[in-house]
């Protein structure tokens, strides 16, 4: 997949193409269906597919207080979109100045002029541009004027659930990992570098890899059964997110005890895939009680992960940090 960023998006890149446009946070199953339809339209027309997105997320620039914590980093989004087999991802630098560009100029100069748009496929409720002027009606009118066609796809979902980034965010925020997995079509993943902690873990018999992460949306504090990608391997793990209340003065950490592992991980990049929440974080009366609880967590983790669907594990790293 070709990736266009910064001023490269604003050059003449394609003579003709099929375009779709959105924020695509989480690249969930609804997005996947949209990309499938874009590729089908491309085969029919013999044209390349271009996914247009904005980076950073427009709300992070225009109304940071209302901006949601994102499910995926840009690097993770890029990896997921590349997997769908589209030809090009064009990430437009979203600046306050860009946000003032009228929808018509954006369509004519960027989508058509730089990206060669001949056909655009959008989600059922998508709108873009200054004051959300770029809605379905405007696009239809501009299509007639400038000579491109528009298709909008119906909401994608299952039963009464419509797949959306905001629903996935709500589910992750409340720790309902199986429901979030159902929307994303994969386990929610956060990645990061293993950093030093207080070195208490090894004294308990449960060393934990603590990570520093760029991912914004974390599941709530608690203990989780996870699958962890480490140096090209996928290992089972029990993950704790919280401030370790049994020990005074701890900062909030994300840490995973890896089953069937021993070795040194400081500085390594790992990706933690959340399968299921086991329990709340608790303040135990003493270290022995904490150890008994962790032993129980490990046993529960093993039985849950024995039934985990391996195909839902997507070890998504934030490759800006590892040079991809
Ligand atoms: C599966 C698991 C569950 C945990 N649950 C709790 C808990 O409920 N309460 C708590 O205070 N600490 C809990 N811990 C965190 C330990 O206190 C923590 O691993 C220890 O403080 C090590 O910190 P360190 O990485 O800074 O050495 C848990 C750790 C693991 C691996
Ligand atoms: N099974 C394991 N799971 C996680 N980390 C492990 C494991 N075995 C060894 N380690 C190493 O031990 C370190 C964690 O030990 P710990 O005492 O918890 O120290 P820290 O407080 O620095 O996290 C990890 O960062 C990793 O390098």
What's the mean pLDDT when you consider all of the chain?
94
Ligand 1 midpoint to CA 210 (Å):
10
Q: Which of 161, 179, 196 is a domain's end point?
A: 161
The distance between the two most distant Cα atoms of the chain, rounded to a whole number of Å, is 74
Please state the rounded mean pLDDT for residues 291-315: 97
Residue 262, token pair as written in the block: 């021993």
Residue-level pLDDT at 249: 80
Tell me: do 42 and 152 sit in the same domain.
yes
Tell me: do 296 and 148 sit in the same domain.
no
Confidence of residue 324 (pLDDT cuts 50, 70, 90): very low
Evaluate: CB of 254 within 6 angstroms of ligand 2: no
Evaluate: CB of 258 within 6 angstroms of ligand 2: yes
Total of domains in the chain: 2
Residue-level pLDDT at 41: 97
Q: Residues of the chain with pLDDT > 90: what percent?
A: 90
Q: Which of 161, 196, 227 is a domain's end point?
A: 161
Q: Residue 322: is its pLDDT beyond 70?
A: no
Tell me: do 52 and 102 sit in the same domain.
yes
Residue-level pLDDT at 132: 78
Tell me: do 157 and 37 sit in the same domain.
yes
Residue-level pLDDT at 126: 83
Tell me: do 8 and 150 sit in the same domain.
yes
In a domain, 173, yes or no: no
Tell me: do 99 and 248 sit in the same domain.
no
In a domain, 276, yes or no: yes
Tell me: do 260 and 312 sit in the same domain.
yes
Tell me: do 104 and 234 sit in the same domain.
no
* HSE of 154, CA atoms in CB hemisphere, 13 A: 2
Answer whether 213's CB lies under 8 Å from 191's CB. yes
Please state the rounded mean pLDDT for residues 56-79: 95
**pLDDT, tens digit, 9 for 90 and up, residues 9-22:** 999 999 999 999 99
Atom of ligand 1 nearest to the CA of 243: 11
In a domain, 176, yes or no: no
* HSE of 286, CA atoms in CB hemisphere, 13 A: 1
Q: Which of 209, 235, 249, 259 to mutate to test the pocket of ligand 2 (most atoms within 8 A of CB)?
A: 209
Residues facing residue 253 across a β-bridge: 242
d(CA 191, CA 315): 8
Evaluate: CB of 263 within 6 angstroms of ligand 2: yes
Tell me: do 111 and 258 sit in the same domain.
no
Tell me: do 120 and 48 sit in the same domain.
yes
Q: Residue 276: is its pLDDT beyond 50?
A: yes
Q: Residue 245's domain is classified under what CATH number?
A: 2.40.30.30
Q: Residue 321: is its pLDDT beyond 80?
A: no
Tell me: do 131 and 230 sit in the same domain.
no
In a domain, 168, yes or no: no
In a domain, 203, yes or no: yes
**pLDDT, tens digit, 9 for 90 and up, residues 37-52:** 999 999 999 999 999 9
| Residue 266, domain extent | 187-322
Residue-level pLDDT at 319: 58
Tell me: do 150 and 278 sit in the same domain.
no
Residue 52, token pair as written in the block: 């247009």
Q: Which of 265, 287, 291, 295 to mutate to test the pocket of ligand 2 (most atoms within 8 A of CB)?
A: 265
Please state the rounded mean pLDDT for residues 64-80: 96
Please state the rounded mean pLDDT for residues 202-230: 97
**pLDDT, tens digit, 9 for 90 and up, residues 149-174:** 999 999 999 999 999 999 999 999 99
In a domain, 181, yes or no: no
């Amino acid at each position: 997949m070709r990736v266009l960023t910064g001023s490269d998006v604003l050059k003449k890149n394609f003579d003709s193409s099929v375009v779709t446009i959105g924020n695509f946070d989480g690249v969930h199953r609804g997005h996947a269906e949209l990309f499938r339809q874009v590729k089908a339209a491309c085969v029919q027309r013999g044209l390349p597919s271009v996914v247009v997105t904005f980076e950073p997320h427009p709300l992070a620039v225009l109304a940071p207080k209302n901006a949601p914590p994102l499910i995926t980093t840009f690097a993770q989004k890029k990896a997921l979109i590349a997997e769908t087999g589209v030809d090009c991802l064009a990430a437009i630098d979203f600046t306050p100045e860009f946000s003032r560009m009228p929808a018509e100029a954006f369509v004519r100069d960027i989508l058509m002029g730089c990206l060669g748009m001949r056909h655009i496929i959008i989600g059922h409720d998508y709108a873009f541009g200054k004051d959300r002027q770029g809605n379905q009606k405007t696009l239809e009118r501009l299509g007639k004027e400038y000579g491109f066609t528009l298709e909008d796809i119906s909401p994608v979902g299952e039963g009464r659930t419509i797949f959306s980034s905001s629903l996935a965010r709500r589910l992750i925020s409340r720790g309902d990992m199986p429901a979030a997995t159902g929307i994303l079509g994969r386990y929610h993943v956060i990645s990061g570098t293993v950093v030093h902690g207080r070195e208490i873990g090894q004294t308990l018999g449960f060393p934990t890899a603590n990570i520093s992460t760029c991912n914004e949306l974390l599941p709530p504090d608690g203990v989780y059964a996870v699958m962890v990608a480490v140096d090209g391997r996928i290992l089972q793990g029990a993950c704790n997110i919280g401030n370790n209340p049994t020990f005074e003065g701890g900062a909030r950490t994300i840490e995973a005890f890896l089953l069937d592992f021993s070795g040194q991980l400081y500085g390594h990049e790992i990706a933690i895939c959340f399968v299921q929440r086991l329990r709340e974080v608790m303040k135990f009366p003493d270290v022995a009680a904490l150890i008994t609880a962790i032993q129980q967590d490990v046993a529960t983790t093993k039985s849950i992960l024995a039934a985990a669907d391996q195909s839902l594990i997507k070890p998504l790293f934030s490759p800006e940090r590892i040079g991809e």
